[in-house]
């Protein structure tokens, strides 16, 4: 009995790549989409500001920057999450969501030096995997569909 080499291109099964990338992208998109949906349509951004951002008024940050962060994170999570789910403008959505995670992490760290990372780490891992894996593996998306139709 012989053992086949898994790295042999003639025998390598790549059929799992598109469904795998689709799963990661859509899962992350749903997480962000629902977070943004809750902030905008259930709580409302003014309430989000009062509950989560007002505490920063006692810091060195100017109030306009704090308010901007509340609106930015809420809107980008909703829109960026939706864009990831449908696979439209994926790279732009990924960069905007990466900035969102940096803002959130900075804010949490400013409030409390040792804070619960359970909200940021899973999103960071999923988003980083989208950045690190080849975009050609993500074939099931609106960007590819539009590109194909425009040819």
**Is residue 73 a part of any domain in this protein?**
yes
Give the mean model confidence (pLDDT) for residues 113-126: 92
CA dist 81 and 25 (Å) reads: 9
CB distance 70 to 100 below 8 Å: no
Residue 86 falls within a domain, yes or no? yes
Residue 8 has pLDDT above 60, yes or no: no
Paired tokens of 149: 């139709």
Any domain includes 6: no
Does 72 reside within a domain? yes
Domain count, the chain: 1
Q: Is residue 10 part of a domain?
A: no
Does 52 fall in a domain? yes
Domain coverage including residue 62: 17-150
User: Does 138 map to a domain?
Assistant: yes
pLDDT band at 92 (very low <50, low <70, confident <90, very high): very high
The per-residue pLDDT for range 22-47, each reduced to its tens digit, is 999 999 999 999 999 999 999 999 99
Residue 12 covered by a domain: no
Kindly report the three-state secondary structure assignment for every residue of the chain.
CCCCCCCCCCCCCCCCHHHHHHHHHHHHHHHHHHHHHHHHHHHCHHHHHHHHHHHHHHCCCCHHHHHHHHHHHHHHHHHHHHHHHHCCCHHHHHHHHHHHHHHHHHHHHHHCCCCCHHHHHHHHHHHHHHHHCCHHHCCCCHHHHHHHHHC
Instruction: Please check whether residue 122 is in contact with residue 129, taking contact to mean a CB–CB distance below 8 angstroms.
Output: no
pTM over 0.85: yes
């Amino acid at each position: 009995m012989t053992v086949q080499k898994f790295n042999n291109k003639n025998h390598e099964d790549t059929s799992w790549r598109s469904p795998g990338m689709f799963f990661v992208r859509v899962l992350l998109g749903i997480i962000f989409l629902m977070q943004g949906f809750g902030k905008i349509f259930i709580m409302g951004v003014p309430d989000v500001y009062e509950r989560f951002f007002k505490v920063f008024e006692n810091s060195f940050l100017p109030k306009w920057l704090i308010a901007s962060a509340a609106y930015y994170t809420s809107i980008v999570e909703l829109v960026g999450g939706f864009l990831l789910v449908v696979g439209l403008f994926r790279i732009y959505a990924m960069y905007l969501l990466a900035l969102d995670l940096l803002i959130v992490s900075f804010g949490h760290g400013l409030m409390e030096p040792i804070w619960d990372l359970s909200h940021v780490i899973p999103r960071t891992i999923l988003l980083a995997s989208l950045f690190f894996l080849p975009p050609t593996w993500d074939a099931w998306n609106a960007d590819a569909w539009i590109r194909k139709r425009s040819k």
